[in-house]
Structure 1
Amino acid sequence: MRSLVLTGALLSATTATAAACGSGGAATGDGKPAVMAAFYPLQWISQQVGGPDVSVAGLTKPGTEPHDLELTARQVADIQDSSLVVYIKGVQPAVDEAVEGHASAKAFDAASTVATLPATAGEEGHDEHGQHGHADVSYDPHIWLDPSRLATVAGKLGERLAEADPAHAAAYRQRAATTAAELNKLDEAYRTGLTGCGKKAIVTSHSAFGYLAARYGLEQIAVSGLDPDAEPSPTRLAQVADVAKRENVTTIFTEELVSPKVAEILAKEVGAKTAVLNPIESEPDGGDYLSAAKQNLEALRKALECPTTEG
């Protein structure tokens, strides 16, 4: 079990800071509300909706697997002093613990704003998150991979920011509406682009794409469960290989933040190639959430033998 231990000195310092900033949470040096975002997609949407009226900081550095995050004492203090913490319960145990202990009244759990899917069972019939020390949640937390759900999150976040900072309420709501419109446009591109494809099965490194598959009528075949660090057993690999052969899968998807070794072995076994399908858990190089999602769409269309679209 992880433990977040704050020394007496840190407690004194953070208490003093909170008192100086008022009960509504900390403001930055320029007076803007401080928003702490647990990891990249939540940081992106907080920036889109908050715009110039807030200061958004991410808890997870680019290129870091979010599930493995360990908070520093300074980050725990920042969470305590923030105006709002945007997170998804069940992704990062350290963040869950810090929110529960220091910021429950000013936390925005994005997963609580949308309909969620059940957690994917692991190969032994147990939830992979529970097996590997993740928060005890019964749902799949990867909601950001369904643009329509993320559009709903944008609207709810706009309302939450409007409540926290009434002086800029109209601006938050307007940016939330604009962001939701962009995400709904992306959703339509997926719906159109994944219609009439020759294949429906996607083999992925871990069960990150359940929402995407459910939204667009695909079948996710995951090597590992919800935990990307989980090592699949030989039995599970054999099962996935059998299904991949039966479904004539030609592409095994891997991820940038996870070793491709298992995917490469599986691809060799079934006579397929590998390609990257980004779970968008970390900031893409030279892009953002929207550009990464569009790249995923193109990768899926190629792997699933979808018809050519115009425009």
Structure 2
Amino acid sequence: MKSRVCQALFFFLICVVAFAGCGANQSIDKEKENGNFKIVTSFYPMYVATINITNGIDGVEVKNMTKPQTGCLHDYQLTPADLKTLEKADAFIVNGAGMEAFLDKVVKQQEKLKIIDASKGIDLLKDGTEENPHVWVSITNAIQQVRNIEEQLIADDPKHAAQYKENADAYVTKLESLKREMHTAIDPLPNKNIVTFHEAFPYFAKEFNLNIVAVIEREPGSEPTPKDIEETVDKVKSLNVKALFAEPQYPEGAAQTISKESGAKVYTLDPVVTGDADETAADAYINAMKKNAQVLKEALQ
């Protein structure tokens, strides 16, 4: 009798332990069971493109992993909250091209997670041996990224294929109209030499035939030395550069110093890496680019 009681207690304990082990994943499993296709984006530019492609599709959810004011992800470190967000995702949309330095860690920890590379097939510009990941700042590349996201979402979630394609077509039509509008505004400008704040604008400059003669900060947060500033001032003067372009995401102290020394005026160009994650986000890229065209028109006349 005593032996049977012990056996029963042993069996009960095994069941309790097994149940506790399964409980760690229950919340995630329940979220998977609701049938929704959950998409996580790495940062704001990917979020903006994705909410346009998924607009109005029932059963598809989009969440941005980082805060919408995070900026470029050059040195971003994953947080426990980020990893928890990714555990619940069916697809993770990234810019790629080296922007998300943490991506290898994600792949190792989330082996079944589908990674959607928005920069797939885009020719990358190089600064020395390093590839520049800021591809979305070119409208042509932004269009290609929309198509890449569309194609890979259809492969991963074929149930919503027709809606993804319809939305992507509509957004690409808007981007193509934006591109024509900006060429009309920028192409006739007589001055093409500009100085930018950091390496966010080479693709933009290539698209609109602008000549970046100097970059104030090669890496965000790396303050230029007095020698760097002196060399930039000399370039600005020798090439008769009229405009320095800071970015709204960073302080413009160095740009103001160069402005005082050279006489060139400071303007703001937005690479659209930050913004609001609200009902206005879908138009954030288009609105920012239109404003950039207005700024260039004023600065380079």
Same fold (TM over 0.5): yes
Equivalent in 82, 85, 91 of residue 75 of structure 1: 82
Equivalent in 38, 44, 50 of residue 40 of structure 1: 44
Name the SS of the counterpart of 1:158 in structure 2. helix
Q: Residue by residue, what CA displacement relative to the aligned partner does 1:111-132 show, whole Å, maximum 9, x if unpaired? A: 22322211x24xxxxx6xxxxx
Partner of 1:111: 119
| Change in 2 beyond 3 A, CA 1:96/1:186 | farther
Partner of 1:248: 240
- Structure 2 counterpart of 1:223, which letter? I
| Alignment coverage as a number of residue pairs | 272
Whether contact under 8 Å (1:42, 1:87) holds in the other structure is: yes
Whether contact under 8 Å (2:194, 2:242) holds in the other structure is: no
Equivalent in 286, 295, 298 of residue 302 of structure 1: 298
- Please identify, of 66-75 and 205-214, the stretch whose mean Cα deviation from structure 2 is larger: 66-75
1:51 and 2:88 are equivalent in the alignment: no
| Change in 2 beyond 3 A, CA 1:49/1:103 | farther
Equivalent in 279, 286, 293 of residue 289 of structure 2: 293
Q: Give the Å deviation of 1:140.
A: 0.7
Structure 1 runs of 4+ with >4 Å offset:
11-18, 26-29, 284-287
Partner of 1:170: 162
Q: Give the Å deviation of 1:157.
A: 1.2
1:191 and 2:183 are equivalent in the alignment: yes
Unaligned runs of 5+ in 1: 1-10, 122-126, 128-137, 306-311
Partner Cα separation in structure 1 for residue 122 and residue 43 of structure 2: 18
Spell out the pairing of 1:1-311 with structure 2 (5 A cutoff).
20=29, 27=32, 31-53=35-57, 54-67=60-73, 68-89=75-96, 90-95=98-103, 97-102=105-110, 106-118=114-126, 120-121=127-128, 138-220=130-212, 221-225=214-218, 227-283=219-275, 288-305=284-301
TM-score of the pair, normalised by structure 1: 0.79
RMSD (CA atoms): 2.5
Unaligned runs of 5+ in 2: 1-20
Name the SS of the counterpart of 1:86 in structure 2. strand
**Percent of aligned positions with the same letter in both sequences?**
26
Whether contact under 8 Å (1:250, 1:272) holds in the other structure is: yes
Whether contact under 8 Å (2:90, 2:113) holds in the other structure is: no
Whether contact under 8 Å (1:154, 1:176) holds in the other structure is: yes
Name the SS of the counterpart of 2:40 in structure 1. strand
| Change in 2 beyond 3 A, CA 1:284/1:222 | farther
Name the SS of the counterpart of 1:34 in structure 2. strand
Partner Cα separation in structure 1 for residue 226 and residue 91 of structure 2: 44
Partner Cα separation in structure 2 for residue 249 and residue 13 of structure 1: 64
Partner Cα separation in structure 1 for residue 87 and residue 107 of structure 2: 8
> Over alpha carbons, which structure has the higher Rg?
2
- Structure 1 counterpart of 2:47, which letter? Q
TM-score of the pair, normalised by structure 2: 0.82
Partner Cα separation in structure 2 for residue 242 and residue 62 of structure 1: 37
